[in-house]
Amino acid sequence: MEAHSDWYHRITREIGPYRDTLSRKDLKKYKIDLLLRITGRVDTFSNTCGECQLFQQEITQIAQDLGNLVQLSDRERRKSYFRTINNIVKHLQKEHKLVKKGYYLGMWIGIGMAIGGGLTAALGTPPIGPGIGLALGVAIGSYMEKRARDEGRII
């Protein structure tokens, strides 16, 4: 288990009450769990990454404004919130080689279904091809997902 900084603990204390008071729908809508996960990742990389240090400031601002964001229906503020989260996730994926949960599974299911379509065309047996492709995609995707989780590369 990694030791987190005081900044991380302060942010989780600010965001924590929203996890208890918001409905499940709002928790999902505002991506509170993702926000907490990226907070931990940014904290981990902030010692060596200047951009992550800047993201710390943005996350601090988000945590302070979260109450207003949830209560007010300010469309521009909400767009800015989601844009910031997406920018942080893109940075973590590109620069630190992290992936979102379910990334490999979704990708390989799609590839497996394409392979299954090819098998159907080649063999001429419609029910078998997609089944084989789906099974292949789930197997490879699950393996890749587990490997990424074991390596600590999941956001």
- Two tokens, residue 32: 């509170």
List pLDDT tens digits, range 10-51.
Answer: 999 988 888 888 888 888 888 888 999 999 999 989 888 899
List pLDDT tens digits, range 128-138.
Answer: 888 888 999 99
- Two tokens, residue 101: 């949960």
| pTM for this entry | 0.80
Q: Are 37 and 19 in contact (CB under 8 A)?
A: no
- Two tokens, residue 62: 């988000």
Axis crossing angle, helix 103-123 with helix 128-150, rounded to the nearest 10: 160
Phi-psi domain of 50 (left: phi exceeds 0; alpha: psi -120 through 50; beta: other): alpha
Side-chain half-sphere exposure of 87, counting CA atoms within 13 A: 13
